[in-house]
Amino acid sequence: MNICVLGGTGFVGTELVTRLALDGHWVRVPTRNLARAQRLRVLDTVELRAADVHAPTALSQLFADCDAVINLVGILNPRRGASFHAMHTELPGRILAAARGAGVRQVLHMSALGADERAPSQYLRSKAGGEAQLRAAPPSSAHTQPAVTIFRPSVIFGAGDSLTNRFAKLLRLTAGFLPLARARTRFAPIHVLDVVEAFRRALGARVSFGRIYQLCGPDVMTLGELVRLTARVARLPCHIVPLPDAAARLQGLVMGLLPGKPFSLDNFRSLTVDCVCQEDGCARLGIEPQHMEAVLPSYLGDDDTETQLALLRRTADR
């Protein structure tokens, strides 16, 4: 197939585009910054294109000759003119319209678990807005209307994530002392390659047309437990200081003013709801997702084979 992947240079995108290219697909990846896409450069069937996906005619040019479009564009906090509404709500609507015009058969869209128009954070509300734009499409693959498939993952981990790697970095910097907002919020972290597999299986599969898939890993854990597991695998000291909500809000306000916004009030609000699945999208796609404990040592641990085997055994014994 010919596939255009928006957001294909990011954490999930790089893994997905690589896999699709290895599967024999031809993949077009627009980016604002070609240098960001180093890893994709070596793949013969990947065409990197410098493009601004928000420019009026960019999408119809990008989607020419494409059978499918995948949208992974997303931000955790607004910055430099990029609002949640523009990125998560308007863009999916424009993608659908351009895909329709270009005769694209399927649009696969990355949303987020907890996307809801009544959600506490702008991030989650804007993701719900994007889903609503796409759901306006009928669940068919009629010539004039692309079929739509939506994915709602919990937090995603893997080599190059900004979750476990960021916590490991913070623990290193602070000798293990970590003031943590909403330490009891529950997550079901899913491995990036399982997310990639979900997209692969849904691609071109009629059964996925018009569907929403919630994607969760097999382990439900609190944020505190996730940090402790990261510390254990990376062999770092870990002393979590759970923050009361008032202090966590203040932390969000202050850190939201720092360059790069490492944490924000909106991030805090997203953390006030659990991020666990209500239905098993992986099972519906025939995927058995990997345990976090089995994967983390491959990129966070040291090269101590015994440690890695012990962790794998513990997972297998469960």
The residue ranges that bind ligand NAP (CB under 6 A) are: 7, 9-13, 31-33, 36, 53, 72-75, 82, 87, 110, 112, 153, 155-156, 163
Residue 246 makes CB contacts below 8 A (sequence gap 6+) with none
Cβ 310 to ligand NAP shortest distance, Å = 27
Nearer to ligand NAP, 163 or 205 (CB): 163
Cβ 103 to ligand NAP shortest distance, Å = 24
Place of tokens 């062999």: 235
- In angstroms, the CA 52 to CA 59 distance is 9
Q: Which of 192, 173, 196, 131 is nearest to 262 (CA)?
A: 173
Q: How far apart are the first and last CA of the chain?
A: 40
Cβ 77 to ligand NAP shortest distance, Å = 11
- In angstroms, the CA 129 to CA 123 distance is 10
Nearer to ligand NAP, 70 or 102 (CB): 70
Cβ 9 to ligand NAP shortest distance, Å = 4
Nearer to ligand NAP, 36 or 172 (CB): 36
Residue 207 makes CB contacts below 8 A (sequence gap 6+) with none
Place of tokens 């966590």: 248
Cβ 199 to ligand NAP shortest distance, Å = 11
Beta bridge partners of 121: none
Nearer to ligand NAP, 214 or 251 (CB): 214
Nearer to ligand NAP, 9 or 251 (CB): 9
Nearer to ligand NAP, 19 or 145 (CB): 19
Which segments of 33-180 does DSSP mark as H helices, in order? 38-41, 58-62, 84, 91-102, 122-135, 164-173
Nearer to ligand NAP, 87 or 311 (CB): 87
- In angstroms, the CA 6 to CA 21 distance is 15
CB 243 within 8 A of CB 267: no
Q: What Å distances lie between residue 77 and 111, 171, 270, CA to CA?
A: 15, 23, 11
Cβ 272 to ligand NAP shortest distance, Å = 16
Cβ 15 to ligand NAP shortest distance, Å = 9
Cβ 306 to ligand NAP shortest distance, Å = 30
Nearer to ligand NAP, 58 or 255 (CB): 58
Q: How many CB atoms lie within 10 A of CB 280?
A: 15
What distance lies between CA 178 and its chain's CA centroid? 24
- In angstroms, the CA 162 to CA 192 distance is 12
